Amino acid sequence: MTQAVRLAGVAKTYGPVRAVDGIDLSIGRGETVALLGPNGAGKSTTINMLLGLAEPGEGVIEVFGRSPHEAVQAGKVGAMLQESGFAANARVIEIIELARALYKHPLPTAEVLATAELTEVARRRVDKLSGGQTQRIRFAFALAGNPELLLLDEPTVAMDVESRQSFWAAMRRFTATGRTVLFATHYLAEADDYADRVVVMAHGKVIADGSGSEIKKMAGGRTMSFRLNGTGDGLADLPGVTAVEVRGDRILLRCDDSDAAVQALIHSGRAYRDLEITGAGLEAAFLTLTSANGKE
Ligand SMILES: Nc1ncnc2c1ncn2[C@@H]1O[C@H](COP(=O)(O)OP(=O)(O)OP(=O)(O)O)[C@@H](O)[C@H]1O
């Protein structure tokens, strides 16, 4: 059976910026995949190309074995993009009926409302909805055509915790029916919680691809920082240390084993002060993943 999504050698350039810089990626039918990366990593550009909204400068993109444009025309793809607005005075049900009318084989209205948890507010005007409900209308709009693939660009941005949970509960009901989902996110925790597979992007490239726990392990390094009397020579060679950075009068050691690094620092007899050890955080994790893959 053909893959849901296949990208081979895909690149897209905007002026001097290589927004997507040579991506190979296949997504099987029924997978829920997170595209995780910091701002400007190329996630939106990738999603836009999969929707046929942007043309790749290089490489091949297939969606269910066809061009993105053909797949969208055939009603196989639904999307929730970062910016899409609805007429403020329209009612929820009208928006859903409009979306359904665009497709040959839409889902029944009641099913769209129930899946997106909008049944209670079906007759409410769009401008009277909460932020979370507004996001769920965008979700309802995306699934009304009964697509086999859903592409979601940061679907939970600006949602509070409760709305986020109810959004993902709605998504689970949809994926339980064997559909394929690709969603972009900045949040490692969200990727880990809701995706079967996490594809990490940075600087237009895929720098890691694995299960949430594999990615968390790769991103789970720590940073040790301290002030030092004397030079930092030789610190890079300490066990457990992956990189050394000097920031003002502090030295930062990126560690994949901070216990070993602390022991080694103590035994080295260096005169350090103000030692701090922190979790890597996502930005540092991206740096670690990026340099670990030799792409920087
Ligand atoms: N239409 C465009 N014109 C010029 N540059 C663009 C355009 N679209 C994207 N870029 C640039 O391409 C790079 C990748 O952007 P993209 O929006 O794909 O990243 P992203 O991972 O989705 O980031 P974000 O999380 O901020 O949405 C960025 O440097 C961005 O400024």
pLDDT digits (tens, 9 = 90+) for 227-262: 988 778 899 999 999 889 888 889 999 888 888 999
Which residues are registered as beta bridge partners of 181? 32, 150
Ligand 1 atom at minimal distance to the Cα of residue 201 = 21
**How many whole angstroms from 17 Cα to the centroid of ligand 1?**
9
- Give kind and range of the element (H or E) at residue 194: helix 188-194
Cα 18 to averaged position of ligand 1 atoms, centre (Å)? 9
Contact call for residues 155 and 84 (beta carbons, < 8 A):
no
For ligand 1, atom 26, name the residue with the nearest CA: 39
Q: Report the CATH superfamily, name and number, of domain 5-217.
A: P-loop containing nucleotide triphosphate hydrolases (3.40.50.300)
CB 97 within 8 A of CB 90: no
Q: Is 202 in the pocket of ligand 1 (CB under 6 A)?
A: no
Q: Are 182 and 152 in contact (CB under 8 A)?
A: yes
Burial 157-168 (b: 16+ CB within 10 A, else e): eebeeebbebbb
- Calculate how far, in angstroms, residue 186's C-alpha sits from the geometric centre of ligand 1: 14
Strands 241-247 and 250-255: antiparallel
Check pocket membership of 41 for ligand 1, CB cut-off 6 A.
Answer: yes
Spell out the domain ranges in the chain. 5-217, 221-279
Give residue 188 CA to ligand 1 midpoint distance, Å: 20
Type of residue found at 185: T
For residue 212, the one-letter residue type is G
Q: Give the pTM.
A: 0.78
Q: Is 207 in the pocket of ligand 1 (CB under 6 A)?
A: no
| Eight-state DSSP code of residue 108 | P
For ligand 1, whether the C-beta of 47 sits within 6 Å is no
Each of the 296 residues of the chain gets a pLDDT tens digit; together they read 789 999 999 999 999 999 999 999 999 999 999 999 888 899 999 999 999 999 999 999 999 999 999 999 999 999 988 766 778 789 999 999 999 998 888 999 999 999 888 999 999 998 898 888 888 898 899 999 999 999 999 988 877 888 888 888 888 888 888 899 999 998 888 888 899 999 999 889 998 899 887 887 676 678 899 998 877 889 999 999 988 988 888 999 988 888 899 999 999 988 899 999 887 555 556 666 655 444 33
For residue 233, report the distance from its CA to the centre of ligand 1, in Å.
Answer: 39
d(CA 139, CA 222): 37
Closest approach atom of ligand 1 to CA 41: 21
- The ipTM of this complex is 0.95
Q: Is the CB of 39 under 6 A from ligand 1?
A: yes
Closest ligand 1 atom, residue 20 Cα: 14
CATH topology of domain 221-279: Alpha-Beta Plaits (3.30.70)
